[in-house]
């Protein structure tokens, strides 16, 4: 039986966003080999697309998590998905969503859909109950 995680994905975003998500999920799950980080820093649109494509190929993955709907990584991932086919793009990634994904065993697309739901459910606000102490 292979030790390689079943669910693998590329995480792409602004600055060090992807490194942080990959680091956090690796520490929690122990499945650091399941993810590859891509940053948009210093890249034009074609450069980001190429970097995501290389990361998918190196990992043998078919899922890309990106940070923002209007982000250049999302644009690049969607262009790549259209050109290649068979690539799922999840926009609005969080540690909760990516963590859920890497623990999945249902197949890339199903794991991605479930993980996106988990990410939505995890976003919670505990509102302030009064003024800050000392005010």
Partner 1 sequence: MAIEQFRIDDRLVHGQVVIGWGQPLGLTHLVIVDDAMVENAWEADLYRMATPPGMTLDVESVASFAAHPQPLDRHLGAGMVLTTNVDTMRRLVEAVPGIRTVTIGGLHHQPGRAPSLPYVFLSTEDIANLGALAASGVAVIAQDLPGSTPVPLGDLVAAGGV
CB of 77 to partner 1, least distance (A): 11
Residue nearer to partner 1 on the CB measure, 73 or 112 = 73
Nearer CB in complex with partner 1: 43/95:
43
Query: Where does this chain bind partner 1 (CB under 8 A)?
Result: 14, 40, 42-45, 47, 68-72, 74-75, 78-79, 82
- Smallest gap from residue 37 Cβ to partner 1 (A): 18
Instruction: Give the Cβ contact number of residue 4 at 10 Å.
Output: 11
Burial status of residue 50 (CB atoms within 10 A of its CB: 0-12, 13-18, 19 or more) = middle
In the complex with partner 1, the residue whose CB is nearer, 11 or 34, is 11
Tokens (6 digits) for 24? 């956090």
Torsion 92-122-59-63 (CA) sign:
negative
Nearest distance, CB of residue 45 and partner 1, angstroms: 5
CB of 51 to partner 1, least distance (A): 12
Residues 6+ apart with CB under 8 A from 5: 31, 33, 34, 102
């Amino acid at each position: 039986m292979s030790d390689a995680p079943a669910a693998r994905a590329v995480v792409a975003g602004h600055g060090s966003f992807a490194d942080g998500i990959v680091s956090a999920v690796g520490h929690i799950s122990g499945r650091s080999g399941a993810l590859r980080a891509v940053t948009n820093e210093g890249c034009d649109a074609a450069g980001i697309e190429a970097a995501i494509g290389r990361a998918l190929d190196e990992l043998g993955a078919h899922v890309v998590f990106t940070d923002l709907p209007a982000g250049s990584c999302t644009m690049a991932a969607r262009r790549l998905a259209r050109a290649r086919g068979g690539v799922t793009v999840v926009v609005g990634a969080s540690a909760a969503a990516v963590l859920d994904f890497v623990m999945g065993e249902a197949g890339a697309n199903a794991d991605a859909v479930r993980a996106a739901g988990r990410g939505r459910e995890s976003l919670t606000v505990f509102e302030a109950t009064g003024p800050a102490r000392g005010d």
